[in-house]
Amino acid sequence: MIHRKLLVPLALSLALLSACTTTKHSGTQHEEFGATGVFTRSFPSTEKSACEAARRALLSQGYVISDWKPSVLKGRRKYQPEADIHAEIEFNVVCVADSKGSNSTTVFANAVRDRYSLKKSNTSASIGVSAIGSVSLPFGSTDDALVKVASETIPTGQFYEQFFELVDRYLDTVPYVQEVDNKATTAPPTPLTPATASQTVTSAPPEQSAKKSEE
């Protein structure tokens, strides 16, 4: 009996400790760095061509492009999963060349999902009474407003896997954009001015001028 009385509290303590450890791990697992390449993919292309393919991939899925640069891209999409829930996805893409002059680019992508809930607030009506003053009554109109209730980076690998597959598909239709070095470009020809144009006019040969003087 004594052993049983000691084992029951010990088992309960171990169960509580295990639950606390599991809860702590589940709350911090998204804050750790992993070795998996969920948010990156390498493509045999330049920065401009890779970002152009990413832009077409987002446009094909209903995203509105809010920011677009040669190597940075940002798109936004809105949807409503439930009657009183509104959600938005902000997709960020960064294209970085693996090395200078190489034909290989790494595309970094991450999507942040914000959720909004419809909240109703009652507004009371006030009535003025001469003897008492203003009295607020509980009846009135209701105002609806969207309030952000959650914001999280989408962690699933399948979501980004589908995006990278679309980028690879559109990369075949994007024309190859070669990076041109500014130092290698030649200066455009200078236009001719009236002074320089007059200098280019050749004078008559000496023999023809001598014949004209004899005549």
pLDDT bin (cut points 50, 70, 90) of residue 91 is very high
Residue of 36, 34, 65, 33 lying closest to 52 (CA atoms): 65
**Confidence band of 57 (pLDDT split at 50, 70, 90):** very high
| Distance of alpha carbon 48 from alpha carbon 37, whole angstroms | 22
Tokens matching residue 172: 């075949």
Looking at residue 187, its pLDDT comes to: 52
pLDDT of residue 51: 95
Q: What is the pTM of this model?
A: 0.60
H helix intervals, the chain: 2-28, 47-60, 157-171, 194-200, 206-214
**Which DSSP letter does residue 130 get?**
T
Backbone dihedral angles phi then psi of residue 113, each to the nearest 5 degrees: -110, 125
Average pLDDT rounded to a whole number, residues 54-61: 96
Listed in sequence order, the DSSP H helices in 96-191 are 157-171
Confidence of residue 146 (pLDDT cuts 50, 70, 90): confident
CB burial of residue 57 (10 Å; 0-12, 13-18, 19+): buried
| Residue 183 pLDDT | 45
* Residue 22 confidence (pLDDT) above 50: no
> Is-contact 61 55, C-beta < 8 A?
no
Question: First and final CA of the chain: distance in angstroms?
Answer: 148
Residue at token pair 């998996």: 36
CB-based burial of residue 205 (10 Å sphere; 0-12 exposed, 13-18 middle, 19+ buried)? exposed
